[in-house]
Chain A
């Protein structure tokens, strides 16, 4: 038997934990609906990338991975489990959430009275009809005409003029520009009624096919393989290569067909047209693509159906209104998002943009927050203000390519130096450096983090951010940036560890050091929090450590290929996974080192992908009070007994005995308390300003 869980099946377990939140009674109703949507959205990416990869591996007859399960078996198990979960999703929706929403006065309707029909008719004619483009499905059409993950309404048609029934087949793409939900007018105090776009189109679909009668209709969505690799050997222009990829993505093979149960005939026609087998067809008992329901979660007036409102507090290491450069000259600043606000990072960038003493701003942009990203906007202003702006824009951030290409082009136009990632490696680290001329000489200010420069996700994901002007760290940060921007080869660094070169050896060294300590009679201990564990070498090192007696407590939100608690192999390893209101995204690594604790923050998980094929960054926590705080965060997460699930030796997860210790709630309370105190008085001044 293999010592590893299969990666894809472990991911399925993760998504199942997300789905569990959707059925947890104590979670507010609209948040449960959101979890349902997240489960669906997670599946979209999983099918596009992982399932597609598994299918390709099976077709290519590749050898199984370390978990020793054939790709065929993996695919079968995925399908089996995904079908179960799909059924469960719709069961929760139909039997639990929708009836409860109904009671709250929110209804999704398919039947209408006269007045409503008249209203919908007007809406259809004015806003919808003109953007619909029906397509007849005939032999000239291929799968390439179908856009990945787009909703379609398929119809079978009967020509009215002929007597014999000769069904024709057509599809109507649901334009992405149109809202998925349309609200019907209602009097004040009455229930609010919503209709799905596809139902609205269905209602008037015969108008699209004059001379035909609609026989049957079904709504469906196709998921295609999205994991086409860029030809990175030819990296003369990565920008062009990425643009080509986006075009190519429209030309890949189908991996999943989601379709409602309204027409068996249509289902069979599509199955045969797309050449997809039954296992890949997901018949849903309700609206296709539950992600679309998430729109309703954002309508106003239903606060009681949401989590209590929590505004991120200003970080405890800072006081609002302080000059960030002055404060950073005195001390390091540690931030725990989303309990603490992301604003200081934006402040650092904005102050740098307008500060005449600032010489340059350098940063990585991986996933920004959309068309109005304040980070990218500030960089544009800085370049216009004559600052040296260097941005490493990662074009390979999956599904954000278009966004990033747009920014890259804009930045270049205003004179910034834009570097389009590294060939073969995705730049995943989060790095910002401001260089400023001061009376004592040039000083650099650096922000390093575990999360993206995205102020929106900074309110939804838990992440750690660190700002410093320490020479030893800022010097190495500069070396690091020069190496990823191509100005320099990778130099020797003492404090910052970088994937794919020094980070993995460092992690292995740290784990092995604990093993050695335990073997020599000491007490070795490792605690860590990160998103996924799938690197075989790291797992082997952890097994060896466990066997030597090192106590290992891991908090891994997603994939975990390590089998914990197996006698003689991993007795001393426990793995928990916390799924809660916020997406756990911090990467924290703690090593007891015989009492001289060492801890690191990083942008990387213990995944081969992160450690071997991405540019990632890991840095130490320096100050004692920050070490104490980071350790507290780790320990609190590990002892959560409200949202934590414990990984069992068989790969399943069991929710920890229901208690009251929700780590995420506690962190917010702490941030709230800290924001009430003026703690800046007590902060240790490391350096005096000149």
Chain B
């Protein structure tokens, strides 16, 4: 049968189930045609023994073969099949072996998502589902997705992504408590309250939860509940706050068997179902939202919105900037200074776009690095760039995966005195093109930073003029101080090495 190129399939290997989405591209939108889901026990293995067992492997292979059979009935081209794996596989010690064996047996090549990539996909799917219905993007919103393995939380302040967190707060992780008999509803609720309290304290540092207007909840369990107690809308359900609170109270007083029969979950999953919903409840009670929005989407729709590389940064420029500002604020960075540096750096960047072989992702790296360049000062002024690299690399920044954060961190690391060296392990572990990116962008950032040597944001680059050998910066003021001239001269050396251009202030007529 002829392959249908408008169809795509996404397989998501999660901690409690394997899901398949078959969708068709219609103009600019994706239309979900089929959704399949089969339960699996990966999470149980990994969160207890840190490894995927042979039994689970066989189970996964069996389900994937079934999905393969199903995908074939739709004649989907193999290049249109995307396979992602989330927390359970990510955390498994034997993940590489597992992925390799799965591919050998099923021909499905899985990409293991980082927590932040999963967050990004969640955000994309929510944006896709609610676009045209609710103005989430410009509001204060908390997006919470809870599954067996963990909870992803995204915080939007007037559309700016001020926080993105992936927490080890998943129902399967509570199985031990549930099974040991300690899992009475009271005990579990206390445990969850304690765990969510720690998280919400951290959130409060980024954004007061009381200002959250939209509480967006994702996940199969909350959807099941929304189908029963929520209002149906196009693309999402709406659960009123009172109805949700009443529901949580109701299930607290129910036996597992009652939960199972009333909400259509199996008896063995009723404990996890209960725990998952209590997690939503624990976050919800900190917000002032009057309702829960439950979009009819999942991470799989997010994959459809993404290109092969999950973090195509260009479409998320504002969100990533928001996340960087939020992180910078947490470490007391001088925002005026970093804004000025970012502004001037981007002016220079724009002029170099064509010859520097830059794309939009590079612009985001540069802007992020400018915003975060002084983050290391929080620890100590000595080796602050080195601290900056560490903090950036080990923070959760919405939209930036590990590689992205390493690149941004290295731009910060090398924008001051130290130059990139092949003896630096983080730098040498990068591919050639990424190493060049670090070289080029740290040189630009070094120049932009030099312009604000007096830390008073006096100089703003109005325009950049260029001839064969020079790049001249025309600034908003004419009387450039000798300090500033000297500072630029110091910074221009590396710039010239990298771009072959001498950089200087344009002479005023």
Using a CB–CB cutoff of 8 Å, the interface residues on chain A facing chain B are: 359-360, 386, 388, 437, 440-442, 475, 478-479, 482, 486-494, 501-502, 505, 509
Contact = CB atoms under 8 A, between A and B. Distances in A.
Interface stretch (B35-43, B45-53, B318-326, B327-335): B35-43
Given A388-B73, A437-B4, A441-B24, A489 B264 contact: no
Contact of B26 (A359, A437, A441, A490): A441
Given A491-B35, A494-B227, 18 more contacts: A359-B74, A359-B75, A386-B1, A441-B24, A442-B7, A475-B32, A478-B33, A482-B34, A482-B70, A487-B70, A488-B35, A488-B36, A490-B264, A492-B226, A502-B264, A505-B228, A505-B262, A505-B263
Nearest to A495: B232
Q: Which of A360, A475, A486, A494 gathers the greatest number of chain B CB atoms within 10 Å? A: A494
Given A388-B73, A505-B261, A505-B262, A440 B38 contact: no
Contacts of B37: 488-489, 491
A505 B264 contact: yes
A184 B217 CA distance: 80
A437 B6 CA distance: 11
A493 B224 CA distance: 8
A475 B33 contact: yes
Contacts of A501: 264
Interface in B1-59: 1, 4, 6-7, 17, 20, 24, 26, 31-39
Contacts of B367: none
Contacts of A360: 73
Contact of A493 (B70, B220, B227): B227
Contact of A442 (B1, B24, B67, B261): B24
Nearest to A444: B33
Interface of B: 1, 4, 6-7, 17, 20, 24, 26, 31-39, 66-67, 70, 73-75, 220, 223-224, 226-228, 232, 261-264
A487 B6 CA distance: 23
9 closest cross-chain pairs (CB), A and B: A488-B36, A501-B264, A492-B224, A388-B73, A492-B223, A492-B227, A441-B24, A502-B264, A441-B26
B264 A482 contact: no
A631 to B, nearest CB: 23
A441 B6 contact: yes
Given A493-B227, A502-B264, A487 B36 contact: yes
B122 to A, nearest CB: 18
A488 B20 CA distance: 9
A479 B21 CA distance: 11
Nearest to A485: B70
A489 B224 CA distance: 13
A482 B66 CA distance: 11
Nearest to A502: B264
A479 B35 contact: yes
B227 A441 contact: no
A483 B213 CA distance: 37
Nearest to A386: B1
Of A440, A442, A492, A493, most B-chain CB atoms within 10 Å: A492
A360 B226 CA distance: 32
A388 B4 CA distance: 15
Contacts of B227: 492-494
Contacts of A487: 36, 38, 66-67, 70
B35 A489 contact: no
B38 to A, nearest CB: 6
A437 B70 CA distance: 17
Nearest to B20: A488
Contact of B31 (A359, A441, A488, A502): A441
B73 to A, nearest CB: 5
18 contacts: A359-B74, A359-B75, A441-B26, A441-B31, A442-B4, A482-B36, A487-B36, A487-B38, A487-B67, A489-B17, A489-B37, A489-B38, A490-B264, A492-B220, A492-B224, A493-B227, A505-B228, A505-B261
Most buried by A among B6, B20, B224, B264: B264
B26 A440 contact: yes
A492 B20 CA distance: 15
A493 B35 CA distance: 11
Contacts of A505: 228, 261-264
A181 to B, nearest CB: 51
User: Which of B6, B35, B38, B263 lies at the interface centre, i.e. has the most chain A CB atoms within 10 A of its CB?
Assistant: B35
A487 B4 CA distance: 21
Contacts of A388: 73
Nearest to B230: A494
A69 B227 CA distance: 41
A482 to B, nearest CB: 6
B418 to A, nearest CB: 54
A436 to B, nearest CB: 12
Contacts of B73: 359-360, 388
A488 B38 contact: yes
A422 B100 CA distance: 34
B60 to A, nearest CB: 15
Contacts of B35: 479, 488, 491
Contacts of B70: 482, 487
Contacts of B24: 441-442
A236 B31 CA distance: 36
Contacts of A386: 1
Give the most central of B36, B39, B223: most A CB within 10 Å. B36
A215 B24 CA distance: 80
Nearest to B261: A505
A167 B232 CA distance: 79
B12 to A, nearest CB: 13
B187 to A, nearest CB: 28
Contacts of B32: 475
A350 B34 CA distance: 25
Contacts of B6: 441
Chain B CB within 10 A, most for which of A386, A441, A478, A501: A441
Contacts of A442: 4, 7, 24, 33
Contacts of A441: 6, 24, 26, 31
A608 B12 CA distance: 37
A523 to B, nearest CB: 24
Contacts of A440: 26
A489 B261 CA distance: 16
A490 B266 CA distance: 10
A359 B70 CA distance: 13
A507 to B, nearest CB: 13
A488 B228 CA distance: 21
A489 B39 CA distance: 7
A488 B226 CA distance: 21
Nearest to B1: A386
A488 B4 CA distance: 23
A478 B302 CA distance: 22
A344 B288 CA distance: 54
A637 to B, nearest CB: 31
A441 B67 CA distance: 22
A161 B264 CA distance: 76
Nearest to A476: B35
Nearest to A505: B262
A67 B294 CA distance: 44
A340 to B, nearest CB: 31
A158 B6 CA distance: 84
Nearest to B7: A442
A490 B265 CA distance: 9
Nearest to A508: B262
Nearest to A471: B31
A475 B73 CA distance: 17
Given A441-B24, A489-B17, A505-B261, A494 B33 contact: no
A492 B264 CA distance: 9
Contacts of B17: 489
A502 B225 CA distance: 12
A509 B263 CA distance: 12
A488 B21 CA distance: 11
A479 B296 CA distance: 14
A360 B22 CA distance: 15
